[in-house]
């Protein structure tokens, strides 16, 4: 095999990477849409063409929500194992991972000795604790999602949000705003809430440094700030926080083929 491809089909975004001799060579990201099979195929074809590769020269490992349905894959692995591997690509001494995606979040504990997953926790049933929670709240406050984190960072006194449910939290947010709380303070309260929820899940499996924060939400510095506060230690994010799953899948493909 010349190269290895990892494809992470999330419910919101599909990510594809090309690995050669253990190094990231190329990558693509696109919204999955309802037709993620087509999106997957297109990205796959494109990456092959741009890198002068034939189908027979690559081994494809799929992961994520659509891993069983995509037919271009040679093999599949769950996103838990994939993220653990991918995190170690960026940080070989990674001991735990928190991944907050658009529709789910996970915490993974990695063995310092073997680099294998030793425990994990998933939240994929409830929007609270996921990127969706932030989206809903940003929308309620009429703030663009990519500015939401920075807005929150501007607060000195985060509002207290007690609702654990996204639907109720949304009403709570609107009501707080109507009563005169500032957008910054409410935004900070939201970020604190999601961080607390995710940190709670992570603490259940005993996460400890070095903790890698990845997934789309890792780009949000306010979530990072409050996660650090909840966990009590510093956390790091990879250069490409959304690609850890796909990279991990490709690396595992490479390992399996050697």
Partner 1 sequence: MIMSLMADELVRFSSVLRIAYNFLGGRDYLKRKKFREKKKLISVALPFSDLAFIAGTVPVFPIRMQIFEINKYLRYLGSASNIFGWNRVSDFLGFVKNLGIGELSKLIDDIIDEVIDTINKKYNEMYDLGIESGIPSDFCYGIKSLYGMHTSKIKNVEATLNFTIRCSAWNKYLESLKTIENTSQQIWIDIPPRNIGNSLELLTENLSKAVEKLELITGKSVSDNDMRTHFQIGNQVKKSYKTILYEISTSDFYPCNPATFSEILALLSITFQDYNSDAKRYAENLSFLVNEMRERIRKGIGMDVSKRPKILVTPMFGGWPPESHEIIYELGGRAIYADWDILYLLEEIDVSSSSNPLEEYARFLLKATEHGIGCDNNTLTNSYVRIAKKIDADGLVFIQLFGCHSVSNCYTMLKEKIRQDLEIPSIALTFNKIGENVEQVNTRLGAFMEMF
Partner 2 sequence: MEDLELLSDFSSFLKEKKEEGKKIIGFISHDNIPEELFDAGGFIPLRLMFGGNDDLMTASHDFLPPSTCAFAQSCIGLFSLKPRSYKFLEFIDYFLVSNHCVSDICASEIISKYFNIPRLNFYISYTKTNNSLTYLKLELQDLKQNLESIMGSKIENEDLLNSIKKYNNFKKKLLEFNKLYVKGSEKLKIIQKALLFGPDFHPTLENIIQKYKENSNDFENTSKDVILTGCSIFINDYIIDLIEEGGANIVFYDTWIGNSYFSQIISDDLIEAEKDPLNLFVHRFNKNIYGDHSVPNFLENKIAQILDMYHQYKQKTGKKLAVINHIIKFCDHISIMSSFFKNKLQDQGIPVLNLERDYSKANKGQLSTRIEAFLEMI
Binding site for partner 1 (CB under 8 A): 160, 162-165, 168, 171-172, 175, 196, 200, 203-204
Which of 46, 45, 42, 86 lies closest to 63 in space, CA to CA?
Answer: 86
Residue 117 near which of partner 2, partner 1, none (CB within 5-8 Å, type-dependent)? partner 2
**Residue 165 interaction partner, one of partner 2, partner 1, none, beta carbon < 5-8 Å per kind:** partner 1
DSSP H helical segments within the chain, as ranges?
36-50, 79-90, 131-140, 145-153, 166-178, 183-203, 221-231, 244-257
CB of 81 to partner 2, least distance (A): 5
Applying CB under 8 A, what is the total number of residues that bind partner 2?
16
Kindly state the tokens that stand for 65: 């929500």
Single residue of 9, 16, 19, 117 touching partner 2 by CB under 8 A:
117
Q: 11 Cβ partners below 8 Å, 6+ apart?
A: 32, 65, 102, 103, 104
Task: Please give the span between the terminal C-alpha atoms of the chain, in angstroms, as a whole number.
Answer: 9
> Least CB distance from residue 77 to partner 2, whole Å?
6
- Chain-centre distance of CA 251, in angstroms? 18
| Cβ distance to partner 2 smaller for residue 109 or 134 | 109
Distance between CA atoms of residues 214 and 196, nearest Å: 16
* Of 44, 90, 120, 240, the one binding partner 2 by CB under 8 A: 120
Judged by CB, which is closer to partner 1: 200, or 209? 200
Footprint of partner 2 on residues 62-101 (CB under 8 A)? 65, 68, 77-81
223/227 Cα distance (integer angstroms): 6
x-marked contacts with partner 2 along 177-206 as a string, rule CB under 8 A: ---------------------------x--
Residues interacting with partner 2, by CB under 8 A? Answer: 65, 68, 77-81, 116-120, 122, 124-125, 204
């Amino acid at each position: 095999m010349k190269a290895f491809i990892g494809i992470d089909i999330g419910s919101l975004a599909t990510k594809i990477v090309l690995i050669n001799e253990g190094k990231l060579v190329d990558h693509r990201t696109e919204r999955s849409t309802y037709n993620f099979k087509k999106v997957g195929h297109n990205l796959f074809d494109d990456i092959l063409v741009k890198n002068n590769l034939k189908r027979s020269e690559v081994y494809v490992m799929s992961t994520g929500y659509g891993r069983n349905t995509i037919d271009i894959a040679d093999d599949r692995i769950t996103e838990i194992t994939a993220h653990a591997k991918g995190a170690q690509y960026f940080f070989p001494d990674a001991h735990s991972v928190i991944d907050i995606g658009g529709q789910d979040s996970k915490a993974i504990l990695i063995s310092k000795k073997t680099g294998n997953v030793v425990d994990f926790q998933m939240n994929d049933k409830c929007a609270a604790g996921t990127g969706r929670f932030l989206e809903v709240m940003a929308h309620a406050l009429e703030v663009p999602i990519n500015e939401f984190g920075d807005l929150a960072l501007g607060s000195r006194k985060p509002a207290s949000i007690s609702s654990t449910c996204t639907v109720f939290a949304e009403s709570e947010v609107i009501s707080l705003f109507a009563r005169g709380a500032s957008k910054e303070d409410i935004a900070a309260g939201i970020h604190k809430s999601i961080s607390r929820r995710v940190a709670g899940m992570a603490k259940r499996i005993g996460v400890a440094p070095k903790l890698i924060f990845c997934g789309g939400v890792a780009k949000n510095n306010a979530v990072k700030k409050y996660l650090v506060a909840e966990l009590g230690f510093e956390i790091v994010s990879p250069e490409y926080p959304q690609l850890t799953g796909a990279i991990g899948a490709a690396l595992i493909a490479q390992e399996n083929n050697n």
